[in-house]
């Protein structure tokens, strides 16, 4: 019976340490990313590849519980991106550009998550043309959107 | 079956019954001694309850159920009999019952506002219709289905052939999944935007007949007719019987040329059924796993077949496996009227639509369906997430998107220009699935719900012989509620 109770999703926070060697300039050692995604979502895979191109070591984990997991890290339904990346102690939701993630890891603000809600056209991993600047929101430890962390 | 009570007829439900009885039977019905059809009375009461989905020591789960059981009681009749089912609403909200796959008169189809007013709390509605087709069907609400089904309102409806297939056991598995918390309670997030945009509400616990499955005891040499019903809101199953080679003998209740399923997997989208002939050919004392392999990376063991120490017989029996055909009118494809149906929307929908329209762009003048697809790209805004022919419906839908001339043959050429699979259900009729991506289907199977892969083009054919306004929708209930539905009129 255990078999059918698939994973009441414990969120695994991966810490940095896995090594990768890259051509692209970057500040520190390669970061390990655990990326939770819907099993049928192709753009999440494209985003994982995008992170890899910039030197992240990405493990993709399909799940049916993405919305609940996103809520679990303080992201209300209306600000969730379409996948969830766990990087060090941070949750990064959706198609957040890599320079914003690097800034996050460099500045290490006392927040829980960053999110780019939805699937904006033209964002990394998405096709299409960018229609408007992306607003990457920051979410406090208590799960409140406290402002725009970056515009791209 | 044991908890069926003959309904106490009150003046109200008698009137409701009379008002609802439309005496158009498609076919001769089974007659009793005096020449009247054999009438079978049933009573269903949807109401809140508790059900032990998870084994002890977990608490029973608060559910909504028919007659205090998940699934609801199996309604089992013979082909040609008349069913009379009194539904007393014990919920705090309106409901209806839809007899999925049964070709009922329109007024008995159980779609709120379209075919009847919702049954108000405390009220009773009397459904009455003939079991024209033998096969595996099911019943469920059509009012706020995404939550009413999701909380446990569904049950099997089995119509036996005059001469049932010879088997040792006739077994029904109603498959469902649930999104449960650690307290075994159903998560309250019905209709979340994420579920609507993606694959629908897919749960974290899978049940067979309302229980997390334990072993299923079988005997070597035994032949089982296994009736599978997918009652889940959104989960698609692809069952691999590993060491066994079941034959598919019926789909959506309708007989099909007995065949091994493609890739050895029985694929069932929400609302779909399959009847299997499963010969238990394993050694005594052995075990075999049934694995669900639909979602890559999320495969899991559904249940194990556990062989007893005593064989029933040494080898599989050599009894016939083909079922007699149901009385369905054969569509004349050459003379059929053709209708284009285009599904768009959802996560990544724009991308797929652009890609498919672009691919078709080189072939022709850009008219027809692909031209319409291009023109629709400018229209995707507002609340609706999923669209049929450019319209994201908001319930209740009353105006038809298509009118099919009664008594004539029709082909619906359906394009899934989305990144997601969709099980598309037409009420009141069964249809032949005649082609997929331009290739004829090997069995031209009759279905009432056809699973379309992303980017797939599927043609279905039918004789529009059941008059009325019929729902046509995706049976991923979160897709249905967020636009993917319409009405097809047969007149």
User: How high is the ipTM of this complex?
Assistant: 0.77
B71 preceded by cis ω (within 30°)? yes
Is A78 in the B-facing interface, judged by CB distances under 8 Å? yes
The whole-number pLDDT of residue B395 equals 78
The whole-number pLDDT of residue B130 equals 97
Residues across chain A: 152
Residue identified by tokens 């249940």 is B303
3-state secondary structure B313-368: CCCCCCCCCCCCCCCCCCCCCCCCEEEEEEEEECCCHHHHHHHHHHHHHCCCCCCH
Dist. CA A17–CA B340, nearest whole Å: 55
Alpha-carbon gap: A43 to the closest alpha carbon of chain B (Å): 8
With bands split at pLDDT 50, 70 and 90, how would you rate the model's confidence at B32? Answer: low
Average pLDDT score over residue span A4-31: 40
Dist. CA B153–CA B28, nearest whole Å: 31
Contact B140, B153 (CB under 8 A): yes
For the cut 90, the answer to whether the pLDDT of residue A6 exceeds it is no
The whole-number pLDDT of residue B236 equals 98
Nearest CB to A8; choose among B194, B204, B303 = B204
The whole-number pLDDT of residue B24 equals 37
Segment A87-122, tens digit of pLDDT: 999 999 999 999 999 999 999 999 999 999 988 888
Distance of CA B274 to the CA centre of its chain: 10
Average pLDDT score over residue span A56-81: 92
For the cut 60, the answer to whether the pLDDT of residue B326 exceeds it is yes
Contact B351, B419 (CB under 8 A): yes
Residue B353 falls in which region: left (phi positive, over 0), alpha (psi -120 to 50) or beta: alpha
Helix (H) or strand (E) holding B146: helix B145-148
Dihedral sign from CA coordinates of B96, B470, B210, B234: negative
For the cut 50, the answer to whether the pLDDT of residue A4 exceeds it is no
For the cut 80, the answer to whether the pLDDT of residue B385 exceeds it is yes
Mutation for B interface: A3, A4, A130, most B CBs within 10 A: A4
Structure tokens, B38: 């054999």
For the cut 80, the answer to whether the pLDDT of residue A37 exceeds it is yes
For residue B385, the chain A residues in CB contact (below 8 A) are none
Higher pLDDT, residue B28 or A82: A82
Tell me if A121 and B350 make a contact (CB, 8 A cut-off): yes
**DSSP single-letter state for residue B48:** E
- Of A35-39, A125-129, B196-200, B213-217, the poorest mean pLDDT is in A125-129
State percent of chain B over pLDDT 70: 88
The whole-number pLDDT of residue B123 equals 98
- Of A45-49, B136-140, B261-265, B370-374, the poorest mean pLDDT is in B370-374
Average pLDDT score over residue span B20-35: 49
Dist. CA B409–CA B334, nearest whole Å: 9
For the cut 70, the answer to whether the pLDDT of residue A5 exceeds it is no
Mean pLDDT of chain B, nearest integer: 90
Dist. CA B140–CA B102, nearest whole Å: 12
Chain B residues whose C-beta is within 8 A of a chain A C-beta are 54-55, 179-182, 187, 189, 192-195, 197-199, 202-207, 212-214, 295-298, 300-303, 347-348, 350-351, 354, 419-421
pTM of the model: 0.88
Label the pairing between strands B98-100 and B300-307: unpaired
Residue B130 falls in which region: left (phi positive, over 0), alpha (psi -120 to 50) or beta: beta
The whole-number pLDDT of residue B253 equals 98
Tell me if B419 and A40 make a contact (CB, 8 A cut-off): yes
With bands split at pLDDT 50, 70 and 90, how would you rate the model's confidence at B372? Answer: low
Search chain B and give the residue with CA nearest A117.
B194
The whole-number pLDDT of residue B256 equals 98
Structure tokens, A19: 């090594």
- Of A87-101, A138-152, B343-357, B474-488, the poorest mean pLDDT is in B343-357
Alpha-carbon gap: B199 to the closest alpha carbon of chain A (Å): 8
For residue A61, the chain B residues in CB contact (below 8 A) are 297
Tell me if B204 and A5 make a contact (CB, 8 A cut-off): yes
For the cut 90, the answer to whether the pLDDT of residue B433 exceeds it is yes
- Of A74-88, B49-63, B124-138, B300-314, the poorest mean pLDDT is in A74-88
Q: Compute the count of residue pairs across chains A and B with CB atoms less than 8 Å apart.
A: 96
Is A87 in the B-facing interface, judged by CB distances under 8 Å? no
Mean pLDDT of chain A, nearest integer: 82
Is A142 in the B-facing interface, judged by CB distances under 8 Å? no
Residue B34 falls in which region: left (phi positive, over 0), alpha (psi -120 to 50) or beta: alpha
With bands split at pLDDT 50, 70 and 90, how would you rate the model's confidence at B349? Answer: confident
Other beta carbons within 10 Å of B462: 25
Tell me if A40 and B206 make a contact (CB, 8 A cut-off): no
Tell me if A6 and B298 make a contact (CB, 8 A cut-off): yes
Nearest CB to B350; choose among A61, A62, A128 = A128
Nearest CB to B347; choose among A77, A119, A128 = A119
Nearest CB to B348; choose among A1, A43, A65 = A43
**Around B444, how many Cα atoms within 13 Å sit in the side-chain half-sphere?**
7
Residues facing residue B215 across a β-bridge: none
Three-state secondary structure call for residue B122:
coil
The whole-number pLDDT of residue B368 equals 60
Search chain A and give the residue with CA nearest B421.
A40
Other beta carbons within 10 Å of B18: 10
Tell me if B213 and A63 make a contact (CB, 8 A cut-off): no
DSSP calls for B358-426: HHHHTTSSS-HHHHHHHHHGGG--SS--EEETTB---SSP-S-SEEEPTTSEEEEEEEE-SSS-EEEEE
> Of B45, B211, B248, B40, nearest to B128 (Cα)?
B40
The whole-number pLDDT of residue A44 equals 87
With bands split at pLDDT 50, 70 and 90, how would you rate the model's confidence at B351? Answer: confident
For residue B207, the chain A residues in CB contact (below 8 A) are 4
Dist. CA B85–CA B5, nearest whole Å: 10
For residue A60, the chain B residues in CB contact (below 8 A) are 297
Segment A121-133, tens digit of pLDDT: 888 888 788 888 9
DSSP calls for A95-131: S--HHHHHHHHHH--S-SEEE--B--TTSTT--S---
Is A121 in the B-facing interface, judged by CB distances under 8 Å? yes
Nearest CB to B300; choose among A4, A42, A78 = A4
Is A41 in the B-facing interface, judged by CB distances under 8 Å? yes
Search chain B and give the residue with CA nearest A7.
B204
Segment B182-193, tens digit of pLDDT: 999 999 999 988
The whole-number pLDDT of residue A23 equals 38
The whole-number pLDDT of residue B490 equals 98
The whole-number pLDDT of residue B348 equals 81
For residue B348, the chain A residues in CB contact (below 8 A) are 41-43, 119
């Amino acid at each position: 019976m255990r078999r059918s109770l698939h994973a009441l999703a414990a969120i695994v926070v991966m810490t940095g340490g896995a090594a990768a060697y890259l051509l692209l300039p970057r500040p520190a050692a390669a970061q390990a990313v655990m990326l939770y995604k819907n099993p049928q979502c192709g753009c999440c895979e494209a985003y994982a590849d995008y992170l890899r191109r910039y030197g992240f070591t990405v493990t993709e984990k399909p799940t049916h519980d993405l919305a609940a997991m996103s809520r679990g890290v303080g992201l209300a339904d209306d600000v969730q991106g379409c996948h969830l990346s766990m990087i060090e102690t941070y949750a990064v939701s959706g198609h957040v550009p890599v320079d914003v993630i690097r800034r996050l890891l460099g500045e290490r603000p006392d927040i829980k998550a960053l999110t780019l809600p939805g699937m904006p056209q033209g964002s990394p991993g998405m096709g299409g043309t960018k229609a408007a600047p992306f607003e990457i929101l920051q979410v406090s430890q208590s799960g409140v959107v406290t402002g725009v962390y970056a515009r791209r | 079956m044991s908890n069926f009570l003959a309904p106490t007829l009150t003046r109200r439900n008698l009137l409701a019954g009379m008002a609802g009885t439309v005496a158009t039977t498609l076919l001769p019905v089974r007659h009793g001694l005096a020449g009247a059809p054999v009438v079978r009375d049933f009573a269903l009461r949807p109401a809140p309850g508790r059900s032990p989905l998870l084994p002890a020591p977990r608490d029973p789960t608060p559910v909504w159920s028919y007659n205090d059981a998940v699934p609801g009681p199996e309604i089992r009749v013979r082909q040609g009999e008349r069913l009379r089912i009194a539904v007393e609403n014990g919920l705090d909200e309106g409901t209806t019952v839809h007899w999925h796959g049964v070709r009922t008169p329109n007024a008995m189809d159980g779609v709120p506002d379209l075919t009847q007013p919702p049954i108000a709390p405390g009220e009773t509605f009397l459904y009455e219709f003939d079991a024209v087709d033998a096969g595996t069907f099911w019943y469920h609400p059509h009012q706020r289905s995404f939550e009413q089904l999701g909380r446990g309102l569904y049950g099997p409806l089995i119509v036996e052939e005059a001469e049932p297939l010879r088997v040792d056991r006739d077994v029904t598995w109603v498959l469902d999944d649930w999104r449960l918390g650690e307290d075994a309670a159903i998560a309250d997030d019905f209709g979340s935007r994420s579920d609507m945009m993606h694959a629908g509400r897919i749960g974290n616990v899978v049940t067979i007949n309302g229980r997390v499955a334990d072993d299923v005891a079988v005997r070597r040499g035994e032949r089982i007719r296994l009736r599978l019903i997918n009652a889940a809101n959104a989960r698609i199953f692809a069952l691999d019987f590993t060491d066994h080679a079941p034959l598919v003998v019926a789909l959506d209740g309708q007989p099909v040329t007995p065949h091994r399923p493609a890739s050895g997997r029985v694929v069932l989208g929400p609302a779909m059924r399959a009847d299997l002939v499963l010969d238990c050919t394993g050694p005594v004392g052995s075990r075999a796993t049934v694995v669900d392999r639909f979602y890559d990376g999320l495969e899991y063991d559904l249940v194990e077949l556990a062989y007893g120490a005593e064989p029933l017989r040494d080898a599989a029996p050599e009894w016939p496996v083909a079922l007699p055909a149901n009385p369905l009118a054969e569509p004349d494809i050459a003379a059929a009227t053709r209708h284009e149906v285009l599904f768009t929307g959802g996560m990544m929908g724009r991308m797929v639509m652009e890609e498919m329209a672009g691919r078709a762009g080189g072939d022709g003048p850009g008219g027809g369906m692909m031209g319409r697809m291009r023109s629709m790209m400018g229209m995707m805004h507002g609340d609706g997430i999923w669209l049929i022919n450019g319209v994201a419906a908001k319930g209740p839908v009353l105006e038809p998107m298509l009118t099919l001339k009664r008594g004539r043959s029709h082909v619906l050429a359906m394009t899934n220009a989305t990144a997601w699979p969709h099980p598309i259900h037409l009420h009141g009729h069964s249809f032949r699935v005649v082609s997929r991506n331009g290739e004829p289907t090997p069995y031209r199977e009759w279905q009432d719900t056809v699973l379309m892969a992303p980017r797939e083009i599927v043609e279905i054919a039918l004789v529009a012989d059941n008059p009325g306004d019929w729902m046509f929708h995706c049976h991923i209930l979160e897709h249905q509620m967020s636009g993917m539905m319409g009405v097809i009129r047969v007149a």
